[in-house]
Every structure is written in C-alpha cells, then in structure tokens.
Amino acid sequence: MSGARRLETRIRSAASEGRIALMPYVIAGHPTLDGFARTLLQVANEADVVEVGLPFTDPTADGPVIAEAARKALAGGANLDHALGAVKEARAASEACFVLMSYLNPLLARGAERVCKELVEAGFDGLIVPDLPLEESLELREPADASGLALIQLVTPLTPTERIAKLSAATRGFLYAVTRKGTTGARAEAESIHAYLDRVGSVCGLPICAGFGLREPDQVQALLGHAHGAVVGTALVERLSAGEDPRPFLQEFRGPGCNSQ
Amino acid sequence: MIEKQGQRTNPPVNEWPDANGRYGSFGGTYVPEILIPALARLQQAVDERLHEPLFQAKLQAEASCWIGRPTPLTPARRLGERWGGELWLKREDQAHTGAHKINNALGQALLARSMGVRRIVAETGAGQHGVATAAACARLGLPCTVYMGSIDVARQAPNVARMQLFGAEVHSVESGDATLRAAIDEALRDWSHDPEGTYYLLGSAVGPHPYPYLVRELQSVIGLEARAQLYEASGRLPDKVVACVGGGSNAIGLFHAFRNDEGVELHGIEAGGRGMAMGEHGSTLTRGSTGVLHGTKSYLLQDSEGQIMETHSISAGLDYPGVGPEHAYLLESGRARYHSASDEEALAALAECAKTEGILPALESAHAFAGARRLAEENPGELILIGCSGRGDKDLGILMQANGGPGA
C-alpha cells in the first residue's frame, strides 16, 4: 500500500471511531539524540500519524519553541540518517503512520530521488515541506509520486478557495490546514477556524488535518465535524524539552470516549 | 584597451527573470503557503506600478531632492597611480544615509504605501538597510520595525541610534547566528504573522521572487548613472566593473546597465574573511554550492546535510551565507566573475583609498577596492569602475580596533 493510501486509511478510520486523528509532532534528535528513538516509539503508540521534524538551521516557518529545540537537536548531532534509523525501528514496533516535516534544503542536499527512496525504505508514508509551494514542487513531487511517498500540501486561512481546490487536487494522503492563532477570544477564534475548515472541506476530497496553535484537548475535540486530524506540535515539544513523559499528555487528546470504548 | 563607440543607446529590455521568477535554474519562490497571497499582491503592485510614469516621476523626484541623486562619479587619480589603473568611483557613499541601500528602501516604501499597508518590517546586517528603511518610512509616514542580529547591534551601535531617531522600532535578534541571516529569519516570521497588513522591505537582491527583480530594478540606477557619467567624462566604457557582493544588491545595480556591453568585464568581490576554512568567510559564489534559503534557489554556504553554515566577515553587510539568484546565474553563464578579498586586504585597500583620495569607503565597499587593486595590478592601464557602495563612518569603531586602538 502506498504511503498516501495508508495515511488516508488511518485518518479515516479514526473518523469512523468518531474521533479526531491525533498527529503529534516531534523533532528528530530531541530531547536528546540517544533518547529520541524511545520518545518516538512512546509518541507513536499514542498517535495515528507521527510528524517527525528534521531540524534545520533556519526554520523560518517555526516559532521560538520549536526553533530552539531544533537548534539543540542539531547541536546534539541530529541528522537525516539518524531520523531514518529511528523511524525504521518505531515503524516496526507500532501501527502509526510517519510523516517527515523538513525544509527543502536538507532534502535537496540528499538529492530529491534518493531522499524519497530512503524515506520510503525507512517506513515514512509522507513528506511535508513547509517552504515548498506547489509551483516549485515538481522536482520533489515526481520522485515522491513514483516511490509512493505522499507529498502533503498545506493551506492557510489566507489561501483563496480557488487555490485551496488546486492544492487539494495536488496533495496526497491528506491536506494540512494551517490554523493560525488569532488575537481574539477563544470562542470567536474557534468559530472562525471552523468556518475556515468548512471552506477547505467544501473543496477537498481527502482528509483534512489542522495544525499550528492547537494546545488543548478541548480545542482538538472542537474540531470534530470540521477536520479529520489535528497536529499537536509546540505544546508537546515544550513538554519533551522539560523532560516529561509524552504519554499522559497525549492520552488526554484521545478523549474520554475513545478510552472507555 | 577596448574602445567603446556608440554605446550610449539604452540596453535592450530585461532578459531575466522569466515569468516564474527564474534566472536560469536559480531564483523562484520558495516560501510557506501563508506568504503566497502576499507575494502575489506584491507581484501585482510591481507589474502595475513600478514602471508606471507617475510612480517613476514620484520616485525620481524624491531620489533627486531627498537622496541627492545623481551621485558623483569620481576619478581616483592618486589611487590609480599606485595601483596602475585608471580608476573611477561610483559614489553611493554620497547618497542620503550613506549607502546605496536608500535607492531600494525609498522605492519599496513608495510601493508599499501605494499598496495601503499598515506597517513595514525589515532586516538589517550592517545597519545601512535598516537606517535607509527607517529614514524612508519616516519620510513617508509609515511605521517601521527593524530586525538586527545582536552581534551586529553591538558592532554597529551608531546605526541602531540612527534608526531609533528616525522612529523605527529595533529588535535585537539573539537566535541563530545573531547576524544578518538570523535577522532575515526573524523578519520572515514577523511577516508570516500578518502578511496582509505588513510589508516586508527586503534589503538585498535575495529572497523569493519578485524581490530580487524589484531590488535590481530599484538599484539599477547606480549603473545607469555611472555608465552615462563615465561616457560623458572619458568618452568610453570601462574595461572592468568591480563591486562587493554580500546579498549582491549594489553589485547587481551597478552591473545591470553593462550586462550587454560585451567588452566590459563584471567582477564581484565576496568576503574572504579570515581564510577559506568553512565558517571563516562569506564567499558564497566562490566556495558554495546550490541550495534553497530565504525563499530562493541560489548558491549557499552549507554542509553535506544541507544545513546552513556560519560565516565570518569584518564587514557585517557581507556576513551572509547566501547570495542573490541573479549573481548565481551570472556566475554560471560566465557573464560575471567572482573573487574574494580577505578582511586584511579590505582593510589595507580602505586605508590606501582614505589616504590618497580623502574618501572613507565602508568596510563592505573596501572589498571592491581590494578586488580592484588586484585586477589593476594584474592588468595595468585598464579603466576600472569601482562601486563605492557606502561610506565608512559606521565602521570607525572597528577600524580603530583593527589599527590597534583609538589614535593608533
């Protein structure tokens, strides 16, 4: 089964259980190089899809928490080979899907074809490249499609609906909907996020996963009916940076309904 | 020497970038999706207004009465005698706020105002672009925030004070390498938080399309003036045009008017720093490789994993691991050549220029002088046009330190 198909199936099966697919984000080599494999497996066992961030020296799409954690991981020796090795182990021991989030330059340094092949071999199902818009993506999209690796597109609240439709047609596995955190109250924010996600849903046939600024279990629960999955990034990275066990935190997101059934 | 006859007609229309913002295989728009609509709006403003007569009239009026254009072209006779060439200096150090940066800052600020934005953000390395942006924003009544690496804040303190006097908010950036590159990272983050109301006033010919094009168009006044002035004064075109290259805006601005003059060699001089070991220099084109950083595909200083390397230069403005995509194209196409000059060579050339011509170039510009010196010594008697991109007053602290303390 291709990565794209696996991702779609996994996320849809969460929906059929009446819950939001949980997509935790971890940074390769964080909190420590040696401890990462264990952290990854702990997180994978609580997750539907694990997003593994490859640290980059210039993470312009990330906020200060993730940027600082990535800096530490790089200083500790994190790199692509290490991430591939850790995912290979975790994939063998868990049911979760794995997606790499990497800025473009480290991927180009490895070579577009080679990196797609190596990612698939390690057990990655998909790839998210935050600084690669659709128009520039051909050199990566072709080898990704050829090797069955899902190149996942992102949309934002500022993306015109016409463009969302174009990105929905191009994405594989699921569509990543960036939900920017506004400055207004939580309720008003949730309402505008719902309207945005519904706009995305009206033109997208694949599952929609929301991310950026989701910190609390009730925020994620509130997405039911509007999105199929939710990325929890910064809030998890903060806990890992503090040396906490990620499992109790992630279990809160699975919701009482899921645990009691 | 090559005599140039009948070269006063305007060069043909721009060949690059193509419709996709590409210079050969370089350039492009490598940004997060959140910035795509903002870049589309910028593209539209550039297409509709940049070359529109009313906008150009406004820009040229301000360039004349506020920047002080045209800047002089100065024969450097005593320096030329020492180095063995006929040297002419294009004096961007005489532009308002002390460097070529103001040409771009004013043009983009005018464009931003016409787009109805609420505020301007900018990055700065040496502080010259920050000062120019702060001044242009003051002149046009636009709120301005400048990001500057904390190392640069420390080594260019007078420029921080100037920005603040012009009413700009200056943010010292502690993250990353705490120089120009970290400042760009941070300015991009700021822009990503409010792409609709904020205009990112990028200071060099780098970044996603259409910035490298926009900056080149606004800086090409340097070469257009110099070409006409030199022809007027000497009846010919230069054998060589020499400019320093960090991101490369003054160099592309100087080179552009000469790109179709076949007999004119174009030479860019990068920061050789303390030596050619990785991390000790900023020689992106001479020592780097292809990659993507800050929205564009170009040459980069990177390791085998694609991680961006730290750089060093005595001049903050050249302390950058990337370079504008058009320079990468000029290198690959062979139209321009790139060399590097060390900290030491730059300091020596600066001292010679100051003593023989009564002109104190910026440390960045001093690299162009150092490169010109080598080229003049290798090719005696040639006519060399040197881009004096800025003045060295901002560098007095570093210069006094390099000379062994105040008064040494």
Question: Are A133 and B33 within 8 A, CB to CB?
Answer: yes
Question: Are B305 and A63 within 8 A, CB to CB?
Answer: no
What b/e string do you get for A134-170 counting C-beta neighbours within 10 Å, with b at 16 or more? bebbeebbebbeebbbbbbbbbbbbbeeebbbbbbee
Kindly provide the ipTM of the predicted complex, given to two decimals: 0.93
pLDDT digits (tens, 9 = 90+) for B217-226: 999 999 999 9
d(CA B318, CA B343): 11
Determine which helix (DSSP H) or strand (DSSP E) holds A210, and give its type and residue range. Answer: strand A208-211
d(CA B5, CA A205): 65
Map residue B301 onto helix, strand or coil: coil
pLDDT attached to residue A52: 98
User: Is residue B4 predicted with pLDDT exceeding 50?
Assistant: no
d(CA A222, CA A230): 11
- Please report which confidence band the pLDDT of residue B142 belongs to, taking 50, 70 and 90 as the band edges: very high
Phi, psi of A134 (to 5 degrees): -50, -40
Percentage of chain B lying above the pLDDT 90 cut: 84
User: Is residue B304 predicted with pLDDT exceeding 60?
Assistant: yes
Q: What type of residue is A67?
A: A
B contacts of A158 (beta carbons < 8 Å): 34, 37-38, 195-196
- CB of B36 within 8 Å of a chain A CB? The answer is yes
Tell whether omega for the bond before B75 is within 30 degrees of 0, i.e. cis: no
Tell me the angle at which helices A36-44 and A246-260 cross, rounded to the nearest 10 degrees. 10
Assigned CATH topology for domain B35-66+100-215: Rossmann fold (3.40.50)
Q: Which of A102, A110, A163 is nearest to A127 (CA)?
A: A102
CB of B242 closer than 8 Å to CB of B375: yes
Average pLDDT of chain B? 93
The CA distance from B150 to the nearest CA of chain A, in Å, is 16
The CA distance from A173 to the nearest CA of chain B, in Å, is 18
Phi, psi of A7 (to 5 degrees): -65, -45
Catalytic residue among B101, B240, B297, B394: B101
d(CA B132, CA B45): 21
Mutate to test the interface with B, among A105, A159, A167 (most CBs of B within 10 A): A105
Q: Which of B237, B240, B176 is nearest to B384 (CA)?
A: B240
Class of domain B70-98+220-402: alpha beta
Q: What type of residue is B266?
A: L
pLDDT attached to residue A252: 93
Tell whether omega for the bond before B17 is within 30 degrees of 0, i.e. cis: yes
| Triad B204, B128, B153: Cα angle to 5° | 110
* CATH number for the domain whose boundaries are A3-245: 3.20.20.70
Q: What is the pLDDT along chain A (261 residues), one digit of tens a residue?
A: 899 999 999 999 999 999 999 999 999 999 999 999 999 999 999 999 999 999 999 998 888 889 999 999 999 999 999 999 999 999 999 999 999 999 999 999 999 999 999 999 999 999 999 999 999 999 999 999 999 999 999 999 999 999 999 999 999 999 999 987 543 344 556 668 899 999 999 999 999 999 887 888 888 999 999 999 999 999 999 999 999 999 999 999 876 544 433
d(CA B252, CA B259): 10
Q: Which of B296, B282, B317, B314 is nearest to B132 (CA)?
A: B317
Which positions 173-232 of A are in contact with B (Cβ < 8 Å)? 178, 180
The full set of domain ranges for chain B reads 35-66+100-215, 70-98+220-402
Q: Which two tokens stand for residue A53?
A: 């961030």
Q: What type of residue is B201?
A: L
pLDDT attached to residue B403: 73
Q: How does strand A208-211 pair with strand B73-75?
A: unpaired
CB of B290 closer than 8 Å to CB of B300: yes
Average pLDDT over residues B358-363: 97
DSSP per-residue string spanning B32-87? -GGGHHHHHHHHHHIIIIIT-HHHHHHHHHHIIIII-PSPPEEE-HHHHHHHTSEE
pLDDT attached to residue B2: 38
pLDDT digits (tens, 9 = 90+) for B45-93: 999 999 999 999 999 999 999 999 999 999 999 999 999 999 999 999 9
Tell me the angle at which helices B101-115 and B211-219 cross, rounded to the nearest 10 degrees. 120
The full set of domain ranges for chain A reads 3-245
pLDDT attached to residue B33: 94
Percentage of chain B lying above the pLDDT 70 cut: 95
User: Is residue B157 predicted with pLDDT exceeding 90?
Assistant: no
Residues 6+ apart with CB under 8 A from B69: B63, B95, B103, B221, B225
pLDDT attached to residue B156: 84
pLDDT attached to residue A255: 63
- CB of A60 within 8 Å of a chain B CB? The answer is yes
pLDDT attached to residue B316: 85
pLDDT attached to residue B319: 87
Other Cβ atoms within 10 Å of B60 Cβ, number: 13
User: Is residue B248 predicted with pLDDT exceeding 60?
Assistant: yes
Map tokens 């080229």 to a residue.
B375
Sign of CA dihedral A153, A155, A160, A164: positive
- CB of B308 within 8 Å of a chain A CB? The answer is yes
CB of A60 closer than 8 Å to CB of B207: no
Residues 6+ apart with CB under 8 A from B70: B225, B229
pLDDT digits (tens, 9 = 90+) for B168-190: 999 999 987 888 888 998 998 89
